[in-house]
Chains A and B, each alone.
Chain A
Amino acid sequence: MWFCAIRRHRLELIPVHEMSWTPIGPPQPPPPSVPPRMPVAFTGSRREFFELVKRGAGLEFVTLGFYRFWLATDMRRHLWSNTEIDGDAAEYTGRGKELLIGFLVALAILVPVYLAYFLVGLEAERAQAFASLPLVAFFYLFGQFAIFRARRYRLTRTVWRGVRFWMSGSGWAYAGLSALWGLVVIVTLGLALPWRAAALERYKMRHSYYGDLQGSFEGRGWEFFKRGWWLWLLVPVAVYIVPLAPFIYGAYKAVEWRWWLSGIRFGGVRLESTLKRGALIGLYWKVIGWIVVLGLVFAAWLALSAVLVASMSATPLKELFASQEFARSIPFLVFLGLGYLLFALAINVVIRVYLMRDLWVKVLGSTIVHGIEAAANVSARGELANALGEGFADGLDVGGL
């Protein structure tokens, strides 16, 4: 998990997506005969969120990661309950225990699946070396299924004005759709990405509800393409000039957020985003800066522990490295593991503060809600979904989007 710390964060980032249509803020004085435009407010303090993730990282360290279910829950609760739409804050009603149970159930299902995967792979390899690689496709499907079901869990735990959001649809149908579009994207070298995103969002939003208000997605692949095609052209450049990559990625994410939010509908409620292309680039650079700093600290820690181990075993440092003895030295491996854990946890804190909280606030700040009066008297509907999808997503280490 520590190894996958960064990938895991994408998983925790999905709620940003799920949430963004919920928020709306204190109404502006309505200009006569124009429908009210309603911004979304975020009332949480940065300090409070930082304390929350700092404490959470400490507890993750002590529990070797088991605390992650409760930390994810606490972060969502903070973000949801500080997001106000039309003067009323949202609420996240999920609990850490549900995530833990979801993880355990997913484990019970995944273990035999892995075993079967191993045996099938064995047969395939016997016929032809490395023939089992296509089986990876099976896990891709499983991952997409997990993304859909995890979204359903989070949505059914999202409450606004005493009415919950919920979802219908099938996780496997979604996985199939996603895989087919994935093939098209590969064949077109990524050019079809906007149309894939539009098709998948249409499926998800068509099956999303707020009470009896059905969602829909009006974003077109073509619009996304028009806004982002130049970024696609720049990708090969970024491979050679690496410092360009955060600019391109930041701009891509901003374009994607804006297009995505502006396409969301719930009945007569319509979202609009005014997010600027360059709005997120600063956040990515701050994260990179912190990772560099933390990486230097980690390197210094490793150097220090190597010197320490060398002096303990009375071997000259040069010999220790030449003989590769250090890779087997138990004290060195313990130092390495400890340092790595702390390094990964510190990066987790940085990513959560900048790419979850700050990103959330920036995106919310750009969001305007039109026609909120359509949500003034919505009847409650929909059942709670279980956290199995979250468990699969955790076990398979997949992120959404």
Chain B
Amino acid sequence: MSGVMDSGANTAFYFDGTSSKRRTVVLHLGETLEIEEDGQRIAAWPYADIRRADSPSGKLRLACISAAALARLEIRDAALAAELVARCEKLDEHMLGGRGVATIVGWSLAATVSIILVVLFGVPLAADRLAALVPASFERRLGEVADSQVKMVFDGKPCDNPAGQRAFEKLVNTLRESAGMDTSVQSGVFSTPIPNAFALPGGRVYVLDGLLAKAENVDELAGILAHELGHLRHRDGLRGMIHNGGTSFLMGLLFGDITGSGAMIFASRTLVNASHSREAEQNADSFAIETMHRLGRRPSRWAN
């Protein structure tokens, strides 16, 4: 290649692993592979210890597990290379063969199955148990964070018509007392045309103005508020957070992105959460129906 090649058939290049010097050597294939430079034996490699190292095609590069880790022998003569390959039985033993790949595939599938099982059965269970263990003060803190973000999103525009405010508070208080919840429940109305209501962890219920405009009578509004109080009572916000966080994390493990972003994670989480949130909504509905019955009102069609 570079004109350094000797004419002898058994020549090779040798790098001893301690210096980058390229040494032209002669190989003797005896009991062991003997490497000679200028007639002096400089190394002997047992055939069983010789392993193949990466090389461009057409060149055989060898390493030896009982020699220096980076010592290399490079053979460019095809006949000599073939003879050496025949003698070194464990030449490719360290390579990742078909069995190695099968092992990787097998364990990957096992990991996938166990992650899916944990997501389906372990995470909901953990969310239920953990939510009960989280102190109320921490939950309130979470609520405050969500609260300040919500206020920012809605431009911090609470409705402040005093008469409306009083009526609304009275309604919430009636529902709250009937449901047997304490005074830590806070509530408010945001002025935005979107018809919706939601509960934040730590005891906050918000109604958007659009919903007030759309509600035909006070029972409808009461039904919706009772439903949201149901979420508070069951600590669904907190449970949902633990559930979402755990699922994202595990799905992230699966798809190799531990930050929990990514479309695949989103899609698979949607699948899992759909069933979970349906259950939470149903529970909040039954809570709302019970509360309304206790107050002697008819639960409206809106309460879902």
List chain A positions with a Cβ less than 8 A from chain B.
1-4, 26-27, 43-45, 59, 62-68, 70, 77, 80-82, 84, 86-89, 91-93, 96, 107, 110-111, 114, 122, 125-126, 128-130, 159-164, 210-211, 327-328, 330, 333, 336-337, 340-341, 375-380, 394-397
Contacts and interface: CB of A to CB of B under 8 A. Distances in A.
Given A62-B105, A63-B105, A1 B141 contact: no
Those 5 A-B pairs whose CB atoms lie nearest each other, nearest first: A162-B15, A63-B108, A3-B262, A87-B2, A1-B256
Given A62-B105, A64-B108, A162-B72, A129 B56 contact: no
Given A26-B1, A336-B267, 4 more contacts: A27-B3, A88-B22, A89-B56, A162-B15
B2 A129 contact: no
B17 to A, nearest CB: 5
Interface string B18-59: 111110000000000000000000000000000001111101
Contact of A211 (B20, B111, B256): B20
Contacts of A122: 141-142, 145
A59 B107 CA distance: 13
A114 B258 contact: yes
A377 B141 contact: no
Contacts of A394: 256
B148 A126 contact: yes
A1 B253 CA distance: 10
B54 A80 contact: yes
Interface stretch (B84-92, B176-184, B187-195, B268-276): B268-276
A64 to B, nearest CB: 6
Nearest to A82: B56
Contact of B149 (A43, A81, A125, A377): A125
B261 A107 contact: no
A125 B145 contact: yes
A349 to B, nearest CB: 17
Contacts of A92: 54
Contacts of A84: 56
B80 interface: no
Nearest to B149: A129
Contacts of A63: 104-105, 108-109, 112
Interface string B53-80: 1111101010000001011101000000
Nearest to A77: B54
A45 B81 CA distance: 21
A209 to B, nearest CB: 12
B16 interface: yes
Contacts of B53: 91
Nearest to B5: A87
A70 B141 CA distance: 45
A63 B265 CA distance: 16
Contact of A4 (B2, B20, B70, B262): B262
B72 to A, nearest CB: 5
B54 A377 contact: no
Contacts of A211: 19-20
Contacts of A128: 148
A339 B152 CA distance: 38
Contacts of A111: 249, 258
A55 to B, nearest CB: 9
Interface of B: 1-4, 13, 15-22, 53-57, 59, 61, 68, 70-72, 74, 96, 101, 104-105, 107-109, 111-112, 141-142, 144-145, 148-149, 151-152, 249, 253-259, 261-265, 267-268, 270-271, 274
Contacts of B258: 107, 110-111, 114, 395
A327 B262 CA distance: 17
Given A2-B263, A66-B108, A328 B15 contact: no
Contacts of A67: 104-105, 108
Contact of B19 (A77, A125, A163, A397): A163
Given A3-B261, A125-B148, A333 B17 contact: no
Given A1-B262, A63-B105, A66-B108, A162 B17 contact: yes
Contacts of B3: 27
18 contacts: A3-B265, A59-B104, A64-B254, A67-B108, A86-B2, A89-B56, A91-B61, A93-B70, A107-B253, A122-B142, A122-B145, A130-B149, A327-B270, A333-B267, A377-B19, A378-B20, A380-B17, A394-B256
Contact of A375 (B4, B20, B59): B20
Contacts of A130: 149, 152
A43 B20 contact: no
A65 B109 CA distance: 11
Nearest to B252: A1
B41 to A, nearest CB: 19
A377 B255 contact: no
Given A122-B141, A162-B70, A3 B264 contact: yes
B255 A65 contact: yes
Contacts of B141: 122, 126
A327 B22 CA distance: 64
A28 B297 CA distance: 97
A337 B264 CA distance: 7
Contacts of B274: 328
A329 to B, nearest CB: 10
B2 A26 contact: yes
Given A122-B145, A125-B148, A163-B70, A379 B19 contact: yes
Contacts of B112: 63-64
Nearest to B257: A1
A234 B262 CA distance: 32
A81 B270 contact: no
B171 to A, nearest CB: 28
A27 B265 CA distance: 52
A191 B54 CA distance: 43
A89 B15 CA distance: 12
